[in-house]
Amino acid sequence: MKIFSIPNAEPQSIHELMLRAEALAGLTLGELAAMAEVKVPINFKREKGWTGQLIEHCLGASAGSKTQQDFATLGVELKTIPINELGKPLETTYVCYAPLTNIAGIEWHSSSVKNKIQKVLWVPIDGRREISPQNRCIATPFLWTPNTLQDMQLRNDWEELMELIALGEVENITAKHGQYLQLRPKAANGSALTQGIGKNGQVIQTRPRGFYLKKEFTHIILENAFS
């Protein structure tokens, strides 16, 4: 029987992080929440980020860290991902905000997307809606770094999307653009506005956008990890 206790400090090595993460496998969110002494929501209608924050806490991520990776000293980004009984993702994966102004000179190799996903600790969790949150089971976490093909796939989509943004087409971009990386609104609500580039190069107000990994892409990551 595996023993798990809530750590009180950040992991000092990848190895330590992975030991902690692997010890979560098989636990339900209810069991883990009990150890952390937090209440499990009946559903995620309001607390949509609850699972991610629980796992962060239980792996010893420093709370409220901004802009950089969850485990900055290790260069590791943590992502929970809801899956069904076949191991297929049930949701897309948020990566980061998309820059909509001052984008001249931004290259893929220095982009937020590329840097965010250089090293990701994926924590797959049974996310089937017919299972109550407290009974949802944590699967086996694994570390992932994009391979050459995956890097190229994301780069192609990223460059297409950034080109459209630079050309003042941001408001014509839909989630259908991009094969593996998509651009979608990312805000508290529809009234949130930020600056963007208009069709004639002027500054416009537009909804903030975020980059998301499409399910097809994360599905392949999961398949590779468990094959």
Partner DNA sequence: AGTTGATCATGA
Partner DNA sequence: TCATGATCAACT
Q: Are the beta carbons of 94 and 113 closer than 8 angstroms?
A: no
Secondary structure (3-state) at 165: helix
* Residue number with CB closer to DNA (3 or 176): 176
* Residue number with CB closer to DNA (22 or 148): 22
* Residue number with CB closer to DNA (105 or 190): 190
- Hey, what are 222's tokens? 């999961």
The pair phi, psi for residue 89, each rounded to 5°, is -65, 140
Output the smallest distance, CB 197 to DNA, in A.
14
Output the smallest distance, CB 1 to DNA, in A.
26
- In the chain the beta strands, taken as DSSP E runs, fall at 77-83, 93-97, 120-126, 142-144, 181-185, 194-197, 203-206, 209-213
DSSP 136: P
Helix ranges (H only) for the chain are 14-22, 29-36, 50-59, 112-116, 148-166, 215-225
**Where along the sequence are the contacts to DNA (CB under 7 A)?**
43-49, 51-53, 55-56, 64-67, 70, 77-82, 91-92, 94, 96-97, 127, 129, 174-176, 182, 184-195, 207-208, 210, 214-215
* Residue number with CB closer to DNA (148 or 179): 179
The amino acid sitting at 77 is E
Output the smallest distance, CB 157 to DNA, in A.
12
Output the smallest distance, CB 146 to DNA, in A.
17
* Residue number with CB closer to DNA (148 or 205): 205
Output the smallest distance, CB 67 to DNA, in A.
4
Q: Strands 120-126, 181-185: parallel, antiparallel or unpaired by DSSP?
A: unpaired
The sheet with strand 181-185 has its strands ordered as: 93-97, 209-213, 181-185
* Residue number with CB closer to DNA (129 or 199): 129
Output the smallest distance, CB 175 to DNA, in A.
3
